[in-house]
Structure formats: C-alpha cells, structure tokens
C-alpha cells in the first residue's frame, strides 16, 4: 500500500515553491497525499528562519505535529532552519527523525543527495518541553558556496530548483528562478545559508511552467520569485549585460530578467514579479513589466534615509525611489506598488523615522509590509551599536502601519464604482492585477464565477485591503483595470 505524506509550509513564497517541489519528488517516489497530518506516514515541516518570530512559529509547528502524528510516522524538518541550525536543531528536537538541509532526500528510498547535510537527532538528548524558547540556536558556518554548486557547474540532481512540480490546482503559481543572493545587506542572513546566487536557465523555467499547466486547472498567472529577482542569470558567465555604443552614448544590453519576463508572458496571461532591488529597476525592466499588462511593482526598499541605507549596505535614498515611482506612474497611471521596510535598524534616528513617515505619505503605495529589525546572528547589523529599544521600535512600527493602513484603505475606496478584471482563484474569491496572491488583498465575487476564469466585474464596496465586486457584462479593452 502506498505511503502517505503531509507537508507543512512556513514562511515566504519561495518556501512554498520548495514545498511543491518536495511534493513532486515524493509523488514521484510513490507517496500519496494524506488528508490530515494525523494520517500521514511521513510528516515534513518546511521551516522559515527569517526572524525570531518565524523561528518560534516553525519550532512550535514541529512540536505540534510531533504530538499529532500517528505512532510510527516519521517527522522530518527541512527548509531554512534546518539548513541554518541543522545540528543544534537535531540535538534540541529528539522528536524529529531527520533534520534535512537543502538537497537532502526526505525518506530512505529517495535518490542520494548531491550535497548531503542531513542530521539524525541523538536519542538521548532531553526534549524541548513543548516550547520554542528552550531551543537556543547558533548559526552553522556559511556553506562552501562552490561545493553547493553556485557558479561552478551544473546544479546538483536533487537541487530543489531542478525538481519537478505537480500541476497546479490554482490558476496561479509561484515559480522560483534562482536561489541564493550575491548582495551583502547588513541585516540579512540569507546569503550565509542559501549561498551565492545560482540561476536556472530560461528553458528550465519555461519547462516548469508547462509542468504546472499540465493539469485540470488553467494556469493564468505566474509569479516569478527569487531572493534578488532582477539579478536573474547575472551569476552565469556570459550573461552579464555588456554595454555597447551605437553611434552615440553607451547603452546597456537588455538583462536576462527582461528576456525571461518576455518569454514567460508568452505562456500565461499574467506575469508578476516579486522582490525587485531598487537599483535594478531600470527603464528596460519597467518597460518589460508594463508590456506584460500587469503593472505591479514590488520594490524591496527597506528604508528611505540615505545614511541608514548606507548602514544597511544598500543602494539608494527616498528621493530617487520617489522619482522612479512617479516616472512609472507617468507611463502607467494605474500602476500598483508594494514595498517593505525595516523599522528600528540600529542607528535609526527620530529624523530617519520622520523621513520615512513623510515618504510613505508622499509615495501613496498600495501595499507595504513593515518588519521590526531582528538582529540575526552573524550579520553585520547584529554587531552595530545604537540598537533601537524594542518599545521605541514597536511605537515607530505602529505609526508607520497606521499611516499606511489608511493610505491602503483610501486607495481601495477609490476603486469603488470602477470596472476591473479579476482572475477567479477559488469559489467567491478573485484578484485583479493589483493584488499578488496570498500577499495583498482579495476581491470577493459571486461564488458561481468559474475558478480559473477571468471576469469583468464592478467594484461595489471595500473593507480595508479587500474589495467586493459584482459581475459586469461587457468587453475588455485590454487596459489595466
Ligand atoms: S538582496 Fe535580499 S536576500 Fe539578498 S542580501 Fe539583501 S535582503 Fe538579503
């Protein structure tokens, strides 16, 4: 009889893609999906190590599933926590049968790993007593990037980027086009355990999209993700954009991300990009995004104060960001914008905070995420002086969130009475191009609209980030709505 699996996913869209690839691999090995974790023979927790709160949630989830699983079922912990804290996690969680870093098979009959980092917990270690707090974690040394297959050669056979995925059951899907990151942001631990960027080929991305579309649900939207999406393929020699001169000033060749966006947009009606580093959003990429018909820009800004951004080891400052946003709105007034900011980075002054509040007011973005600074072990920022007290950080975060919530609500209210096109994701729920799946708001629609279809609707109401809409009969003129 076939064994059953259950995969629990925490964290970001990139982790969700990894989970789907793990599922594709398990199905390929003869496993079938369990209806509940209690019925599974193999329970997998794909963890997130982004900040302390995410780690706590991951460990709480592991402990809850350890209690819930049936006798004899194996419990495997994988994902960023497994990669970053593997040995200590294995020691602290004796309930877990295997702590599997990236590229480690999750069950004994799977093919051998190319870069095995699996750890089996020792039997005699005392339990963590049902709570995340006793698990003190220190980071393992950064991986040997070359041995992780960074830029030197083909990806390992078991690399998650290369694993097949099952067809999608929703009309949209995340597609991860690269793993790792070549930047050096002061607060970020990702490069230390995900390694240097290694990009897929455009052909393999397109092949994955064809796999995803090979089911009963039409695939209408692809959301491209990577740690630093706009740098797609710049890690591969020969794909760095050369500069050339044609009878005048030097101009840049189009970058691989531009070509990728063009290729993907021939396959699906909506192509959406997440996590764009601001210096990489040049005219060519803006044009590529606008030409897909999805004028949605997710800019990873993190702050607007130049001195603070320098301390973050990041490019840019608020005025340049605003100039770019205004220029895009001149080209396409209906453009939607998302960004994220870190609040309370070491050295953030009242002046920096006021600057950010004024910028948020001026920018009028559609969606913004605010994150309290979390000193990640081993990062540049963890060792900085002038750490912002947690109460002050919480106060600043509340001020930013209140201001942005009001802006988001106003921008949503402005859509009442307009016609929009929604992609119906589930019965009664759709999205226009303005809403990224599982991240932004939704549009409530009548439940009889077919899942996977596009529908013209009239917005009749708004509640915070969400809209309510009724069907509209009429032709679509192709403009973003
Ligand atoms: S670009 Fe993103 S993933 Fe890369 S170091 Fe900076 S914050 Fe981390």
* CATH superfamily for domain 419-471: Nucleic acid-binding proteins (2.40.50.140)
Alpha carbon of 451 to ligand 1 centroid (Å) = 35
Strands 198-199 and 178-179: antiparallel
The H or E element that residue 469 is part of is strand 466-471
Residues 150 and 306: their CA atoms lie apart, in Å, by: 32
- Paired with 100 in beta bridges are 78
For a substitution probing ligand 1, which of 188, 192, 309 has the most ligand atoms within 8 Å of its CB?
Answer: 188
Alpha carbon of 296 to ligand 1 centroid (Å) = 20
Residues above pLDDT 70, as percent of the chain: 83
Alpha carbon of 96 to ligand 1 centroid (Å) = 30
Least-confidence region, from 247-256, 271-280, 413-422, 457-466: 247-256
Residue 415 · residue 467 · CB < 8 Å: yes
Residues 481 and 270: their CA atoms lie apart, in Å, by: 13
Residues 349 and 307: their CA atoms lie apart, in Å, by: 10
Determine the atom of ligand 1 nearest the C-alpha atom of 189: 8
Residues 225 and 207: their CA atoms lie apart, in Å, by: 16
Tokens representing 459?
A: 């917005």
**Structure confidence at residue 253 (pLDDT):** 59
Give the pLDDT confidence of 65-81 residue by residue, as tens digits. Answer: 999 999 999 999 998 88
Listed in order, the ranges of the chain carrying CATH 3.80.30.20 are 160-408
CATH number of 160-408: 3.80.30.20
Ligand 1 close to Cβ of residue 189 (< 6 A): no
Ligand 1 close to Cβ of residue 228 (< 6 A): yes
Determine the atom of ligand 1 nearest the C-alpha atom of 314: 6
Ligand 1 close to Cβ of residue 192 (< 6 A): no
Residues 471 and 329: their CA atoms lie apart, in Å, by: 28
Give the pLDDT confidence of 26-37 residue by residue, as tens digits. Answer: 888 889 999 999
**Structure confidence at residue 276 (pLDDT):** 97
The pLDDT-based confidence of 477 (bands split at 50, 70, 90) is very low
Ligand 1 close to Cβ of residue 188 (< 6 A): yes
Query: How many degrees, rounded to 5, is the angle at CA 389 between CA 384 and CA 391?
Result: 155
Query: How confident is the model over 337-350, as a mean pLDDT?
Result: 98
Ligand 1 close to Cβ of residue 365 (< 6 A): no
| Average pLDDT taken over every residue of the chain | 85
Strands 178-179 and 454-463: unpaired
Determine the atom of ligand 1 nearest the C-alpha atom of 277: 1
**Structure confidence at residue 249 (pLDDT):** 41
Per DSSP, the three-state class of 245 is strand
CATH number of 1-139: 3.40.50.12160
Ligand 1 close to Cβ of residue 37 (< 6 A): no
For a substitution probing ligand 1, which of 14, 49, 186, 191 has the most ligand atoms within 8 Å of its CB?
Answer: 191
Listed in order, the ranges of the chain carrying CATH 2.40.50.140 are 419-471
Helices (H) then strands (E): counts for the chain: 11, 20
**Structure confidence at residue 12 (pLDDT):** 79
Alpha carbon of 191 to ligand 1 centroid (Å) = 7
Tokens representing 226?
A: 């990577």
Ligand 1 close to Cβ of residue 225 (< 6 A): no
Strands 296-302 and 270-273: unpaired
- Paired with 223 in beta bridges are 174, 272
Under 8 Å CB-to-CB from 238, ≥6 apart: which residues? none
Alpha carbon of 289 to ligand 1 centroid (Å) = 21
Distances 19 to 251, 336, 390, 399 between C-alpha atoms, Å? 41, 29, 34, 35
Give the pLDDT confidence of 270-324 residue by residue, as tens digits. Answer: 999 999 999 999 999 999 999 999 999 999 999 999 999 999 999 999 999 999 9
Alpha carbon of 183 to ligand 1 centroid (Å) = 6
Query: How many degrees, rounded to 5, is the angle at CA 174 between CA 170 and CA 177?
Result: 150
Determine the atom of ligand 1 nearest the C-alpha atom of 302: 7
Ligand 1 close to Cβ of residue 440 (< 6 A): no
Which range of 35-49, 87-101, 286-300 scores highest in mean pLDDT? It is 286-300
pTM over 0.85: no
Alpha carbon of 185 to ligand 1 centroid (Å) = 6
The better pLDDT of the pair 315, 250 is held by 315
Ligand 1 close to Cβ of residue 46 (< 6 A): no
Give the pLDDT confidence of 129-146 residue by residue, as tens digits. Answer: 233 333 344 444 333 333
Ligand 1 close to Cβ of residue 185 (< 6 A): yes
Buried b (16+ CB within 10 A) or exposed e, 268-299: bbbbbbbbbbbebbbebbbebbbebebbbbbb
Determine the atom of ligand 1 nearest the C-alpha atom of 191: 5
Ligand 1 close to Cβ of residue 302 (< 6 A): no
């Amino acid at each position: 009889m076939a064994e059953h699996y259950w995969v629990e996913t925490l964290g970001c869209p990139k982790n969700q893609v990894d989970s789907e690839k793990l599922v594709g691999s398990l199905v390929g090995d003869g496993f079938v999906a369990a209806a509940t974790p209690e019925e599974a023979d193999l329970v997998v927790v794909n963890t997130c190590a982004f900040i302390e709160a995410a780690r706590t949630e991951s460990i709480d989830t592991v402990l809850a599933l350890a209690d819930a699983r049936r006798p004899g079922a194996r419990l495997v912990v994988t994902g960023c926590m497994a990669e970053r804290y593997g040995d200590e996690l294995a020691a602290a969680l004796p309930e877990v049968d295997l702590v599997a870093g990236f590229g480690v098979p999750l069950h004994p009959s799977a093919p051998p790993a190319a870069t095995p980092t699996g750890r089996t917990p020792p039997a005699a270690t005392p339990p963590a007593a049902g709570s995340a707090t006793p698990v003190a974690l220190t980071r393992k040394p950064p991986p040997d990037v070359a041995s992780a297959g960074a830029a030197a050669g083909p990806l390992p056979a078991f690399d998650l980027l290369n694993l097949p995925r099952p067809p999608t059951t929703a009309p949209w899907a995340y597609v991860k086009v690269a793993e790792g990151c070549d930047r050096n942001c002061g607060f970020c631990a990702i490069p230390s355990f995900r390694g240097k960027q290694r990009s897929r080929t455009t052909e393999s991305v397109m092949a994955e999209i064809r796999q995803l579309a090979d089911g009963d649900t039409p695939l209408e939207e692809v959301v491209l993700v990577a740690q630093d999406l706009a740098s797609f393929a710049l890690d591969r020699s020969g794909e760095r954009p050369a500069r050339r001169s044609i009878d005048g000033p030097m101009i840049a060749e189009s970058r691989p991300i531009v070509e990728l966006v063009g290729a993907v947009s021939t396959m699906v009606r909506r192509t959406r990009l997440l996590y764009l580093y601001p210096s990489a959003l040049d005219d060519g990429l803006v044009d590529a995004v606008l030409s897909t018909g999805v004028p949605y820009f997710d800019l990873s800004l993190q702050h607007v104060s130049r001195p603070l951004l320098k301390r973050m080891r990041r490019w840019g400052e608020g005025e340049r960001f605003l100039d770019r946003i205004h220029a895009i709105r001149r080209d396409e007034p209906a453009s939607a914008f998302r960004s994220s900011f870190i609040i309370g980075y070491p050295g953030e002054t009242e002046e920096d905070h006021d600057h950010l509040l004024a910028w948020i007011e001026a920018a009028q973005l559609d969606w913004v995420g605010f994150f309290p600074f979390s000193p990640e072990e081993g990062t540049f920022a963890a060792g900085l002086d002038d750490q912002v007290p947690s109460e002050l950080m919480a106060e600043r975060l509340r001020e930013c969130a209140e201001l942005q919530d009001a802006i988001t609500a106003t921008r949503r209210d402005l859509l009442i009475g307009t016609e929009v096109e929604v992609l119906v994701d589930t019965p009664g729920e759709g999205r226009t191009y303005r809403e990224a799946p599982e991240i932004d708001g939704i549009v409530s629609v009548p439940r009889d609209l077919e899942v996977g279809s596009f529908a013209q609707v009239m917005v009749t109401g708004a509640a915070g980030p969400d809209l309510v809409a009724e069907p509209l009969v009429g032709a679509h003129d192709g403009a973003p709505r």
